[in-house]
Amino acid sequence: MTRQSAIARRAEQLLGTAVVSTAPVAGGDINTATRLRLSDGRVVLLKSQAGPPPGFFASEARGLQRLAEAGAPVPTPLAYDEACLLLPWIEPARPTADAADQLGRDLAALHQAPCAGFGGDKDGWIGRLPLSNATAATWADFYAGQRVAPYLRLALERRAIDADDAEAVAAAMGRLAALVPVEPPALLHGDLWNGNVLWGADGRAHLIDPAVHGGHRETDLAMLALFGLPQLPRVLAAYQEVFPLADGWEERIGLHQLFPLLVHAAMFGGSYGDRAARLARAFL
């Protein structure tokens, strides 16, 4: 491993410890990831970005700290500034059945942690797009107004979804209150797709890159299913043993997946808008 001077100096300033070596880490569409070995023997991850939006890494650090306080398995932030975030290094490993069972229990515990309401204290980011956490009296109002509507508008502006399909999504949002059982707000990871679950060599599945807010707990689980989490049936079975979901939750998964699909449509185009519309029409 070599020592990248600029990255090493930034980490040394934030941590007050010398960097012995650095190595690039593959993966990630937005941030550059670098593995650092420190003179005190620790190994850490530095996430950086050229010209990130103001407060980008502070928002991620707050989210990780909030999840850590709730007992979730996350890398607790070591330091951050406007350009980077430093985290403990988690050695990756293959998913195991035991780790999947524990992840289910961990998510059930997270969703029962104290949560003040639907939304959050501060806005955040989903990818590089702004993410509003403005509070609402009901989950249906919050999800429709702060999770679906902004990205539906953006996808429409960017021609990633056509007008008829956008109308179908909006119509499904109008039926949310009748379709999804009312529950108290749950503390959510908020962006819990497969890529944000890091299976560690310590036998745990760790949660990374959160978009923390108070929402409906079915949303986290629906996002796990969107792009295919390994061992998902075991995760869900363990979750159900601790914190059973309301009847019919499997049929509602598509409603909760509209938000991430529209984000993807706004960011990447492709077929995500069509997929969102097909899911929405199933609820009309």
Sign of CA dihedral 83, 63, 198, 45: positive
What is the predicted pLDDT for the residue at 186?
98
What is the predicted pLDDT for the residue at 188?
98
3-state secondary structure 205-261: EEECCCCCEEECHHHHHHHHHHCCCCCHHHHHHHHHHHCCCCCCHHHHHHHHHHHHH
How does pLDDT run along the chain (284 residues), one tens digit per residue?
A: 455 788 889 999 999 999 999 999 987 678 999 999 999 999 999 999 888 999 999 999 999 999 999 999 999 999 999 999 999 999 999 999 999 999 999 999 999 999 999 999 999 999 889 999 999 999 999 999 999 999 999 999 999 999 999 999 999 999 999 999 999 999 999 999 999 999 999 999 999 999 999 999 999 999 999 999 999 999 999 999 999 999 999 999 999 999 999 999 999 999 999 999 999 999 99
What is the predicted pLDDT for the residue at 21?
93
- Name beta bridge partners: 221: none
Distance CA(246)–CA(24), nearest Å, equals: 44
What would the DSSP string read from start to end of 137-153? Answer: SSHHHHIIIIIIHHHHH
- At 222, which helix (H) or strand (E)? helix 217-226
Domains of the chain: 5-88 (3.30.200.20), 97-281 (3.90.1200.10)
Distance CA(92)–CA(190), nearest Å, equals: 22
Contacts of 1 (CB under 8 A, 6+ apart): 21, 22, 23, 37
The β-bridge relationship of strands 186-188 and 124-126 is: unpaired
What is the predicted pLDDT for the residue at 5?
83
Residue reference for tokens 């061992």 = 231
pTM listed for this prediction: 0.95
Half-sphere exposure of 187 (CA within 13 A, CB side): 22
The β-bridge relationship of strands 32-38 and 43-48 is: antiparallel
C-beta separation of 15 from 79 below 8 A: yes
What is the predicted pLDDT for the residue at 50?
85
Helices and strands per DSSP (H, E), number in the chain: 11, 11
Catalytic residues, which ones? Answer: 191
Contacts of 259 (CB under 8 A, 6+ apart): 143, 147, 148, 151, 219
Contacts of 253 (CB under 8 A, 6+ apart): 218, 221, 222, 225
Distance CA(219)–CA(224), nearest Å, equals: 9
Q: Tally Cβ neighbours within 10 Å of residue 52.
A: 19
